Amino acid sequence: WIQSKKKSFTFLFTHAHWDHLQGFPFFTPAFFDDVSIQIYSPRLPGAPAGNLIEKALHAQQCEPFFPAGFPQLRAKISFAEIEPGKPVHIASPSGELKIDSAPVSHPGGCLAYRLEHERRSLVFATDNEPQPSPDSPLVKLAADTDLLVCDGQYNNEEHQQRKGWGHGTPELCLQEAVFARARRLVITHFDPSHSDPTLQAMEDEIKKAPSTRKLPVSFARQGQTIDC
């Protein structure tokens, strides 16, 4: 951020669980008054009135949790909502970005996002327990996408003990990617108990699936960039 001197940022929050919020108080640009930050919050079905992420970010920076309250942030921060079936269009120097969404299976609710730019598309579906079906909301959202990023936290044995927790397996992710005709699948949201060798073994195993001959599958890496 310091090297690029970037002054404008956009955040897309999928839901308000703490592991998706807790980094924001340490986002250095938020403390500078020449920075603009646009934050999009999911409008989840059946959720109470009010911007979910705005309320959650304010709450987590209250004493005694954090010394600098949200009002002390000097950046120009604005909030908006994204609702399934109601795409949002964002202008950028490289052209318009279209953002659509769909609800996914996670306790308390969560949205997956589809980003489209110049005929390229990315679908980000973390915190989802896949229910592979040609008619699932995620499969419809990810139809013919260039890249599907999906939650494959557990191996099959772990998932049997954690059904209903709102996370998937590489195999379930692959089934949804096949239904969606995605061109590439990247698996993320790793379990904290899994070591790098464990993740490598899981990646090696899923790559043995016959459908990966036409659909490239890999595990996400820190700092990774992907050319679609």
CATH of the domain at 92: 3.60.15.10
Residues 70 and 93 in one domain: no
Domains identified in the chain, total number: 2
Residues 151, 170 contacting (CB under 8 angstroms) = no
Question: Do residue 73 and residue 170 come from a single domain?
Answer: no
pLDDT of residue 66: 92
Given this model, what pLDDT does residue 208 score?
96
228 plus 136 within the same structural domain: yes
Q: Are residues 54 and 71 in the same domain?
A: yes
Say whether both 111 and 220 belong to one domain.
yes
Whether 142 shows a pLDDT value over 70: the answer reads: yes
Mean pLDDT of the chain: 93
Q: Judge whether 139 and 102 are in contact, CB under 8 Å.
A: no
What is the structure's pLDDT at 173? 96
120 and 75 in one domain? no
**CA-CA-CA-CA dihedral for 170, 176, 182, 185, to nearest 10:** -10
Q: What pLDDT is stored for residue 44 in this prediction? A: 82
Q: In this predicted structure, which of 15-19, 48-52, 137-141 has the lowest mean pLDDT?
A: 48-52
88 and 37 co-located in one domain: no
Strands 111-117 and 185-188, sheet pairing: unpaired
Domain with 24, as residue range(s), is: 1-82
Q: Tally helices (H) and strands (E) across the chain.
A: 5, 10
The confidence score (pLDDT) of residue 97 equals 93
pLDDT of residue 144: 98
Q: Same structural domain for residues 216 and 133?
A: yes
Instruction: Point out the domain boundary residue: 56, 82, 108.
Output: 82
Q: Are 90 and 182 within one domain?
A: yes
pLDDT category, 135, cuts 50, 70, 90? very high
For the whole model, what pTM was predicted? 0.92
Structural domain ending residue among the three candidates 82, 97, 120 = 82
Contact 60, 95 (CB under 8 A): no
Tell me: do 24 and 101 sit in the same domain: no
Residue-wise pLDDT for 73-115, tens only, equals: 999 999 999 999 999 999 887 889 999 999 999 998 999 999 9
Residue 88 CB coordination number (10 Å): 16
pLDDT the model gives residue 2: 60
Give residue 150's pLDDT.
Answer: 96
Spatial CB neighbours of 109, under 8 Å, sequence gap ≥ 6: 15, 42, 44, 45, 46, 47, 103
Does position 1 have pLDDT exceeding 70, yes or no? no
Of 82, 99, 114, which closes a domain?
82
pLDDT above 90 (res 227): no
Tokens of 30: 């938020």
Q: Is there a single domain that holds both residue 24 and residue 69? A: yes
Whether residue 224 is found in the same domain as residue 113 = yes
